[in-house]
Chain A
Amino acid sequence: MSAVSPDGATPLLQVEDLHVAFDTRQGAVTALDGVSFSLAAGETLGIVGESGCGKSITALALMGLIPAPPGRLTGGRIDFAGRDIARLAESELRRLRGRDIAMIFQEPMTSLNPVFPVGAQIAEAILLHREIDRQAARREAVALLRTVGIPDAERRATAYPHELSGGMRQRVMIAMAISCRPKVLIADEPTTALDVTVQAQIFELMRRIQDEFGVALMLITHDMGAIAEMADRVAVMYAGRIVEQGLADDVLDRPLHPYTRGLIDCIPVLGKAAPDGRPPALSEIPGVVPPLHLIGDGCAFADRCSLAEPRCRRERPPLTGRRHGVACHVTAAQAT
């Protein structure tokens, strides 16, 4: 079951059979249903899927930040540096957060505290984990701002979040995230709220940070283009499960799960024209992710799938294959 990193290195982070449930009025709903993956130092794992398929919950679970109640971890392990962090006490988790595992959020507009200058906020994050004085923390914050490519860092450190552009704020978030040299960096749709041109800059920055600090990156996105650009390996999530995983090149070139194919087909290709010369119709995956409490025994994707067989509605397909795995009855034979 456990995924081995392709180069055979011992993974830094190993998630096994993770289950998360949320208590709702319809009863307990399974938000994560047996999610397993691993992450090695210096590697980038992309997690892809539509809204509501469990990507962000996976990230929050790694940080021990599942909102509880109503959420709770109902099973599985998260092995990190020899410990199962799914079972750590809150005080130990707190020491881990920011220092060993850091996170970048989707909305740079709202993820910084509006009433404090950005430099002070970075300094605060440093002071939470390191025994240095305030002056040193401030200097370090300015140095970090310089590292993430903010010009005139000295002055920008005293600026308030509302005085910076979206791209600048995301750089500040990245500076804060790397302030304690974390081993794992989780980026939850870090560029979704940004302009396309700024997106490219942020990706380039994240790659440079990764090279410089050797951090393992978990990139959560719904954008296959971002995966193609950034990820070494990919896990495709659907309705709380991983439905396909493998090397990014394999998954992108030879998608096995019908859902992954759908996601890839959704990327518009510039300059491609239909025979009559007009731009081709954009393809889409029919339907939406089913509400989690309505998922029955079968494959959660069956109702939206063009390949679905009667068996797909009865039995849930397991994830098969080691190198390039897929959870699909129809295409399982092609897994490697």
Chain B
Amino acid sequence: MSAVTERPAAAPARPVSPFGEAWRMFRSNRPALFGLVLLGAIVAAVGYGTLFHPADPYEIVWAPLAAPGEAEGVPLGTDYIGRDILAGLLKGGGPTLAVGAAAALITVAIGITVGALAGFFGGWIDNLLMRLTEFFQVLPALLFAMVLVTLFSPSLTTIAVAIGVVSWPQTARLTRAEFLRIRELEYVTAARAVGARNGRIIGRVILPNALPPLIVSATLTVGVAILFEAGLSFLGLGDPNTMSWGLMIGANRAYILEAWWPVTFPGLAIFLTVLAVSLVGDGLNDAFNPKLRQR
């Protein structure tokens, strides 16, 4: 039939997607792997820890401010009204992580939408959206979040939304920059040349190629959002009816000179979580960076 067949080049046995390749890179990165394991451990502890330590974090179990180990069954001591700190950590981790994840999702959703439209269409749409972005960017984030939380009831949803609303500009700018770069590439013109419409070019052609830095940024946003939630709770603006790590620190801060444990353990939990998330984020960053990728 055809005389024009090319000599079969040495192709790998199984095709490797660029994302598969990134995972291969990630696996060989020790700090990132450590972060992932740590994060997994924290999530597991928060998810299943109450099975091994089934105490009620709201119940007074011992005298106030009992040191760790002083009372049996209360390994991390009690807080200023005698509640079990370990129970609080296990129970409060869920809301903390959930707020972090939800806030990151909101950030990414707004940021990608705004950035993609601005970068893809350019012109007045870009101008309008970027001015809007700048408007949100110059607002002091913590103050603005405080205003939002005080205006509405301080529930977990409000806090997540408030954090999302103040942190999207960065993601939007990053997305826009990626779109500006990628929309000039030949495969975008090629996609137009086969008759693809704008929506498809944005969603199926440019976005998948813009994802790596956005994934990294979203991961790091989770860490920032957790710190943000802790800050708001510390200032007494958190949801007082839901146990969270920030709330524990905030509630016990007045007694820090007499008892170090009620604030140190939740603080350590926040620290480890943010560290784990950051390590994973940095690992993803390296994994997606083709310059560091060696075969």
Q: Using CB atoms and an 8 Å cutoff, list the residues of chain A in contact with chain B.
A: 63, 65, 69, 94-99, 102-103, 105-107, 110-117, 124-125, 128-129, 147, 149-152, 155-156, 158-160, 162-165, 167-168, 171, 173, 176-177, 198, 201, 204-205, 208
CB-CB under 8 A from A102, the residues of chain B are 193-194
- Chain A residue at minimal CB-CB distance from B122: A69
CB-CB under 8 A from B185, the residues of chain A are 110
Whole-angstrom distance from the CB of B127 to the nearest CB of chain A? 14
Which 6 pairs of residues, A with B, have the shortest CB-CB distance?
A: A98-B194, A98-B195, A97-B195, A125-B194, A110-B186, A103-B193
B2 touches A163 (CB 8 A): no
Whole-angstrom distance from the CB of A139 to the nearest CB of chain B? 18
Q: Interface size bucket, B side?
A: 20 to 34
B194 touches A115 (CB 8 A): no
6 A-B contact pairs sorted by A residue (CB < 8 Å): A65-B192, A94-B197, A97-B192, A99-B195, A128-B194, A177-B194
Whole-angstrom distance from the CB of A103 to the nearest CB of chain B? 4
Whole-angstrom distance from the CB of B6 to the nearest CB of chain A? 6
Interface segment, one of B16-24, B57-65, B76-84, B272-280: B16-24
B6 touches A117 (CB 8 A): no
Q: Is B196's CB within 8 Å of the partner chain A?
A: yes
Report the bound CA distance from A167 to B190 in whole Å: 17
Q: Is B15's CB within 8 Å of the partner chain A?
A: yes
Q: Is B8's CB within 8 Å of the partner chain A?
A: yes
Q: Using CB atoms and an 8 Å cutoff, list the residues of chain B in contact with chain A.
A: 2-6, 8-9, 11-12, 15-19, 123, 185-187, 189-197, 200, 204-205, 208-209
CB-CB under 8 A from A106, the residues of chain B are 186
B209 touches A113 (CB 8 A): yes
- Chain A residue at minimal CB-CB distance from B19: A115
A111 touches B4 (CB 8 A): no
B5 touches A151 (CB 8 A): yes
B17 touches A115 (CB 8 A): yes
B189 touches A65 (CB 8 A): yes
B209 touches A160 (CB 8 A): no
CB-CB under 8 A from A152, the residues of chain B are 8
B193 touches A149 (CB 8 A): no
A112 touching B187 in the complex, CB below 8 Å, given contacts A151-B5, A160-B15, A163-B11? yes
Whole-angstrom distance from the CB of A168 to the nearest CB of chain B? 6
- Among B19, B186, B190, B195, which residue has its beta carbon within 8 angstroms of that of A95? B195
A167 touches B208 (CB 8 A): no
CB-CB under 8 A from B15, the residues of chain A are 117, 158-160, 163
B208 touches A116 (CB 8 A): yes
A94 touching B11 in the complex, CB below 8 Å, given contacts A149-B5, A150-B6? no
CB-CB under 8 A from B18, the residues of chain A are 114-115, 160, 162
Q: Which of B4, B19, B208, B209 neighbours the largest number of chain A CB atoms within 10 Å of its CB? A: B4
- Chain A residue at minimal CB-CB distance from B187: A113
Further pairs besides A115-B209, A163-B16, A167-B6: 5, Cβ < 8 Å: A65-B193, A102-B193, A105-B186, A106-B186, A111-B186
